[in-house]
Amino acid sequence: MPPSRKILLIDDDATTAELVGFMVGAFRRERFVVEHRPDYAGGLRSLLTGDYALCLLDYNLGERNGLQLLREAKVQRCPTPVILLTGDSNEETDLAAMEGGAVDFLEKIDLTARMLERAVRYALKMAAVLKRLREQAAHDELTGIPNRREFDRRLLEEWQRGVRFKRPLALIMLDLDRFKVINDTHGHPAGDEALRHVARLLVGQIRQVDCLGRYGGDEFALLLVETDRKSAQAVAARLRALVAATPCSLATKPLGVEVGISVGVAAWPDNADTVAAIVAAADADLYTSKRPGASGRS
């Protein structure tokens, strides 16, 4: 039997907390464990852990209110769905809650176990739908890896972190060799399979903290955190050798198609002092590696 999912209750009133806990305990379709935090700071810390299926958030939390906490959590990209609870019947608060990112808004005076269970079920369903939509929007449909927009977001985020803490950061740009020949000889479905094949190989060789994205067409980008240029060059060489040694199997062909990649490497602080500069440097290195007579080494 799977463990019960957790609901975080942030409310400074002990009586309300006891009542809500009793209502959640009366749910009929699914059992939840309620964890109570009585103050703003402790509630926010717990919410940001991401350990909860849902948060029930009281509007009145002393000097700061639940809307402020909700906005602060959303700024920090907290994905946990939040239902705002209030003792006041106020349409402005209702609208502010929705605009602030709450999934629902419930008045305590009318709250029943059945109503709360229905609200929780709806919030969890909405959260699942939104999560799926976010994942679809951030990933390349063909390969399943992050798309250009998501990769650029991650690159900027890791760049800012690296600069702040003075930690190295490397970028590898890769593209498929003779990709047009594969398309022209075997058809575009074969080209698609070659892209998926390379993506699978690369994903299987990188750390969880790194990020591989489809940059466009037959080009990929690989972000390596806490990695200097020399280490990134070693990674690039290893990936290039792996792809060269692993033919791509095609459903329509009895034999695999040989696929190769070219790579370009750049790093901070060695080659660039801005995000745009590191991308340009890696692109330039990739272009150099594709020149006739080049060894393919960055």
Enumerate the active-site residues. Answer: 218
* 83 neighbors 119 (Cβ within 8 angstroms): yes
- Count of beta carbons in the 10 Å neighbourhood of residue 173: 25
Vertex 238 angle, CA 235 and 241, to 5°: 150
Q: For residue 83, give the H/E element and its range.
A: strand 82-86
Report the residue count for the chain.
298
- Count of beta carbons in the 10 Å neighbourhood of residue 229: 21
Cα separation, 174 vs 279, in Å, equals 12
One-character DSSP codes across 208-252: TTSEEEEEETTEEEEEEET--HHHHHHHHHHHHHHHHTSPBP-TT
Residue type, 50: G
β-bridge pairing 104-107 and 82-86 = parallel
| 54, β-bridge pairs | 7
Coil, helix or strand at residue 271? coil
Both tokens of 175, joined, read 């593209």
Letter string b/e over residues 183-217, b meaning 16 or more CB atoms within 10 A of that residue's CB: beebeeebbebbbbbbbebbeeebeeebbbbbbee
